[in-house]
Amino acid sequence: MPESPTFDQCVEQLHREFRAYDTAVDLVSCWEFFFTQVKPFSSSICQFDRFPRLSSSEEGGTEKTPDFGVLISPSYGLIGETKAGFPIEQKSFLGHLRKLKKYDRPLEFKAGPKGERLAPTTHDILLLIPLRDAQEIVTRLGEILRGGLIQFERSLVVFEWYYDHDRNEFVFRKVSGQSSDFRDASVREELKLSTCFSRRAASLKVTPEKIQAIKATWQFCNDAPPTIFTLVFLWTKVFYFLLTQAQREEWRRRNAQKEMPLDVTVSQLAAEIEGRYPLRWGHWLDWCRDSLDALTLSGLARKIENDRYVVGYRNITRELGEPGHLAGPQSRPSDFARSLATYLCRGRLGTSKEVPPESGPPSQPTLFS
């Protein structure tokens, strides 16, 4: 039987879950920036579709949910998918490829702002993977394709990515040694990805500042978020707007010990999210309920009945170690993730002596303790 995690291990695990999901959102944001704000693509492509639901005529309208789709021209489209990595074991490796295979069929792309649909003559599949394993994955992929274990009619083009901390930017480039390439011969020369990334071996570099506006609108991706991610979103982007004017004035004093009770229901939160943020889809009822249950376990909320809760909301800015940093829409979500993770882990592990006080925020009574 595996040992229970320590408090610090619990916090680090939740923080890793948050960062992994947040990074997936960032990666798609970088490519949205490239196709919608960098010329000549920004003035020429038909449509960029972030976290789409694409139907296939071959499967009676069954929807496919890649991380993004872009209709570059009526004759050519691109499906984008991010992966944190591939398993070493061969059977599982093939399983990952078969999941990508579901995009290897005619698909109807978003073709206009009003939801118009169009199936291009052909499309390719762009796979984004971390630099650390990229070369090994491409080598194994080539062996599998040459051996005929799996065949793709459309090109599966693999890009590696990494974050350059010195230059503070995401870097994407095509992995060397692969035979697959973009089949965009029908596209105008200045829009050919094969010319830019293959023949010229150019890389895409995007700083976080360039995607700030995009992330302000798009917070989630097609995969279900970990509870810590939804919780940070609620704490920094939703709960504040449910405060009364008097509570907002109290919140601006940044007193972490002053709780402002919010009487909310799961459906109310879901409606607030859908009305305030133009998010395409989401299982908001389930995601909000999971987050409120987590807050209840941590002592930051109390369940009243069914899907109704009272949240002990407060401004936790000073717990982040930045007394002069204003919390709210401009705050760094990763900092809030670590701070809120300490509360969640205390709730999960109880008040055991194994939890050192210095590992988390100052112990203090809550509205619900």
Q: What is the pLDDT of residues 2-20, one digit of tens each?
A: 678 899 999 999 999 999 9
Residue 164 has pLDDT above 70, yes or no: yes
Phi, psi of 325 (to 5 degrees): -90, 125
Residues 304 and 331 in one domain: yes
Mean pLDDT for the chain overall: 86
* Tokens linked to 33: 């920036």
Burial classification of residue 165, based on how many CB atoms lie within 10 Å of its CB (0-12 exposed, 13-18 middle, 19 or more buried): exposed
pLDDT digits over 61-84, tens only? 678 889 999 999 999 999 999 998
Contact between 69 and 49 (Cβ < 8 Å): yes
**CA 350 to centroid of chain Cα atoms:** 30
Residue 366 belongs to some domain of the structure: no
Same domain (yes/no): 238, 335: yes
**Final residue before a domain boundary, out of 153, 182, 215:** 215
Express each pLDDT in 293-334 by its tens digit. 999 999 999 999 989 999 999 888 765 543 333 333 344 788
Determine the structural domain holding residue 145 and report its residue range.
Answer: 10-215
Confidence label for 285 from pLDDT (cuts 50, 70 and 90): very high
Res 350: pLDDT: 79
pLDDT band at residue 369 under the 50/70/90 scheme: very low
Q: Are residues 102 and 162 in the same domain?
A: yes
260, 251 contact by CB (below 8 A): yes
pLDDT for the residue numbered 256: 78
Residues 165 and 202 in one domain: yes
Considering the domain architecture, whether residues 192 and 232 belong to the same structural domain is answered as no
Q: What is the pLDDT of residue 179?
A: 86
The residue that leads in pLDDT, 1 or 59, is 59
Same domain, 249 and 108: no
Q: Is the pLDDT of residue 368 over 90?
A: no
Strand order in the sheet with 204-206: 47-50, 68-73, 76-82, 122-130, 156-164, 169-174, 204-206
Together in a domain, 164 and 297: no
pLDDT at 86 over 70: yes
Same-domain pairing of 71 and 182 = yes
Task: Give how many domains the chain has, as a whole number.
Answer: 2
User: Mean of the pLDDT values across residues 232-249?
Assistant: 92
Choose one of 172, 190, 215: the last residue of a domain. 215
- Band (pLDDT 50/70/90 cuts) for residue 276 is confident
Predicted pLDDT of residue 278: 62
CA of residue 183 relative to chain centroid, distance = 28
- Look up residue 331 and give its DSSP letter: S
Residue 233 carries which side chain, given as an amino acid letter?
F
List all residues 6 or more positions away from 107 whose beta carbon is below 8 Å from its beta carbon: 54, 55, 56, 64, 69, 77, 79, 119, 123
What is the Cα–Cα distance from 316 to 298, expressed in whole angstroms?
15
Cα 181 to Cα 38, 101, 135, 154, distances in angstroms: 22, 16, 16, 10
pLDDT > 90 in the chain, percent: 64
Among 162, 184, 215, the domain boundary falls at 215
Rounded to two decimals, the pTM is: 0.85
In this predicted model, what pLDDT tens digit does every residue of 120-140 receive, in sequence order? Answer: 999 999 999 999 999 999 999
